[in-house]
Amino acid sequence: MSRLLAAAVWLGTHAAAQAADTTETLTYVLTPQFERGRLRVELSWETGQRRRSTLRVASRWGRIDDVTQFLHGLVFSGGTARQDGPMWILTHTPGANVSCTYEVYAGRRAFDDWDYTHHPLTTPEFFHGMGNAFLLAPNPGDDAPEEYEVVLRWQLPAGFKAACSWGVGRSVGARLKAGDIRQSVYLAGRLATHTMPQEGRSVTVAMVDAFGFTPEQLAQMTTAIIKQQCTFMDERAFPDFVATAIPVGQPLKPGDSRLAGSGLYNSFALCLAPQSKLSDAVEHLFAHELFHYWNGRLLAAADPERLVCWFTEGLTDYYALRVLFESGRWDAATYARWINKHVREYHLNPAIHASNEDINRDYWNQRDTVGEVAYQRGLMLGLRWHKLARQNDVPDGLDRLFQTLVRRGRARGLKLTNAAIRDAGVELLGAWFGPEFDRYVKQAATVELPADVLAPKLVGKSTDVYAFELGFDRASSLKDKKVRDLLRGSAAEAAGLRERDLLAGWSIPADPDQPVRLQVQRGGETQTIEYYPRGRKASVTQFAPAGD
């Protein structure tokens, strides 16, 4: 070896050793206090040579407007701390070990209300929380590193288990970014678990055993859909994956459906009613959240993210549904039913013409209208543009644009903006894409689908459809077992329902084409009121399997 080469090798090795020596370590100790409904957090941070570091929580998460309200009794040592909103600015000596302890309490001790699925709660049986809702982690900047060695230790009673997005067990460790720590699910308690190996990766399920399926069945579904999406995306570096499931509320009546889920760092957090079974609704939710690994993570949006929500959420839904069908997991009838649902809801959405700026501003405070149109518009454009691209001599259709953008996000760190999407679309799909983009994305015109947009597997025809309109306030009425806020002129009123009617039983499918049945007590007698929960009507394209 030459002296010059030997010197280069020594310098490289020395630099690597120095980098290793300056790696900062975060150690979390989580202690669920099941009998008190609280979680104790102990955090130790072996800082670098700075004199100032910053810890923070998310300013908001989901429907939680102020995460700091859940953190109680914060005590810092190893330096002084000053709070600035969701941040704690720490002043310390170089190389200090800064620590913090606090308790997490969100004012509830049970997942009995679907409005609180984002909240960090300690029940008598388990703790469940997503890092964004309770966990202090370093704030980028202040010369802090991009990644940390992170250690998590759970303090649990004998027989209890634990899992998080980046490790399963009572003591786990990983090299993570601060954002990964927050974008993780944390679950501990009386859990059932199962791990399945798959093509160099593992898929682990950790769940509260309260459902009509086993951990093995949930793991099989998870593993299969991961494999199908990786095949579609030609993905060769998909990581180990964790799926969690917790029960929320009460068991549902036959025909009812309620579920929620969050796609997180290498993980999926599922919320279901007790006794629920795996269904195409669960498959759809998981497929959607899983596809964010490519559309949202590898290909991330520039701030403000909601300006391209039609792409990150809507096209994610388009591909999630399409891969479920094209992989053979869904038959044509199931695929048609889901496409029809989204097309119908898009055309009946009063916010159908909401602009990207409207979506950015009102996504959460008008979630059921303005928030939903982003998903609906993107799915409609996915269907339309895939067909148009093929008609314009692009054999792989819209996939050419999407998969190229993902590769650029992965290799170059491309951040999604509407301008970047438009430019890439014209480059990769042709000049026709520019006017299409301007009309439907910029101007928010109504997206129309040709009857043959899904040919030859599905055929479409114009059909009259109806908005779902129950006719009274569901939440307060079912809670009080008494009809509240009956809507004048509704199908419910026309069927004979009256304000303050006593409800002895009910079947309420969330579908305008399935009848609502209510058992109403009047004068000591019980009578059944039945009606279709139909509101505003529209004529839209609906699809059916070819040959039906």
**Using an 8 Å Cβ cutoff, are 322 and 332 in contact?**
no
Place of tokens 């054999």: 395
Q: How many CB atoms lie within 10 A of CB 19?
A: 10
Alpha carbon dihedral 204, 207, 209, 215, in 10-degree steps, equals: -20
Asked if pLDDT for residue 13 goes beyond 60, the answer is no
Tokens standing for residue 42: 């102990």
Residues 154-200 pLDDT 10s: 999 999 999 999 999 999 999 999 999 999 999 999 999 999 987 78
Architecture of the domain defined by 22-186: Sandwich (2.60)
Domain with CATH 2.60.40.3650 in the chain: 22-186
Please list the alpha-helical segments (H only) found in 392-432. Answer: 398-412, 418-429
> Rounded mean pLDDT of 502-522?
91
- Phi first, then psi: give them for residue 96, nearest 5 degrees: -70, 150
pLDDT band at 60 (very low <50, low <70, confident <90, very high): confident
Tokens standing for residue 400: 């050419």
Q: Say how far apart CA 263 and CA 242 lie, in whole Å.
A: 11
Tokens standing for residue 12: 């490289």
pLDDT band at 253 (very low <50, low <70, confident <90, very high): confident
Cα distances (angstroms) measured from residue 250 to each of 113, 260, 267, 460: 9, 14, 25, 39
Coil vs helix vs strand at 53: strand
Q: 434-438, 462-466, 491-495: which has the minimum mean pLDDT?
A: 462-466
Place of tokens 């998903």: 375
With CA atoms as reference, report the closest residue to 540 among 487, 465, 484, 441.
465
> Rounded mean pLDDT of 379-393?
98
> Rounded mean pLDDT of 72-89?
95
pLDDT band at 280 (very low <50, low <70, confident <90, very high): very high
> Rounded mean pLDDT of 441-459?
96
Query: What predicted TM-score, i.e. pTM, was given to this entire model?
Result: 0.87
Mean pLDDT is highest, among 19-33, 59-73, 188-202, 210-224, for 210-224
Residues 219-237 pLDDT 10s: 999 999 999 999 999 999 9
Q: 56-70, 81-95, 428-442, 477-491: which has the minimum mean pLDDT?
A: 56-70
Please report the sign of the dihedral spanned by the C-alpha atoms of residue 89, residue 95, residue 101, residue 107.
positive
pLDDT > 90 in the chain, percent = 86
Burial class (CB in 10 A: 0-12, 13-18, 19+), 289: buried
Q: Say how far apart CA 76 and CA 522 lie, in whole Å.
A: 62
Place of tokens 């969690």: 244
> Rounded mean pLDDT of 388-410?
97
Q: How many CB atoms lie within 10 A of CB 84?
A: 9
pLDDT band at 23 (very low <50, low <70, confident <90, very high): confident
Mean pLDDT for the chain overall: 92
> Rounded mean pLDDT of 369-389?
97
> Rounded mean pLDDT of 81-97?
94
Report the pLDDT value the prediction gives residue 16, as an integer from 0 to 100: 39
Beta strand 300-301 with 415-416 is parallel
Architecture of the domain defined by 299-461+540-545: Orthogonal Bundle (1.10)
Classified by CATH at the fold level, domain 190-293 comes out as Neutral Protease; domain 2 (1.10.390)
Report the pLDDT value the prediction gives residue 22, as an integer from 0 to 100: 67
Report the pLDDT value the prediction gives residue 108, as an integer from 0 to 100: 94
Domain with CATH 1.10.390.10 in the chain: 190-293
Query: Where is 52: in which H helix or E strand?
Result: strand 52-56
**Using an 8 Å Cβ cutoff, are 533 and 492 in contact?**
yes
Asked if pLDDT for residue 307 goes beyond 60, the answer is yes
Asked if pLDDT for residue 14 goes beyond 60, the answer is no
DSSP letter, residue 304: S
Q: Say how far apart CA 395 and CA 392 lie, in whole Å.
A: 8
Coil vs helix vs strand at 29: strand
Asked if pLDDT for residue 295 goes beyond 60, the answer is yes
**Using an 8 Å Cβ cutoff, are 106 and 119 in contact?**
yes
Report the pLDDT value the prediction gives residue 7, as an integer from 0 to 100: 35
Asked if pLDDT for residue 358 goes beyond 70, the answer is yes
Classified by CATH at the fold level, domain 470-532 comes out as Pdz3 Domain (2.30.42)
Asked if pLDDT for residue 3 goes beyond 50, the answer is no
Asked if pLDDT for residue 466 goes beyond 70, the answer is yes
Asked if pLDDT for residue 518 goes beyond 90, the answer is yes
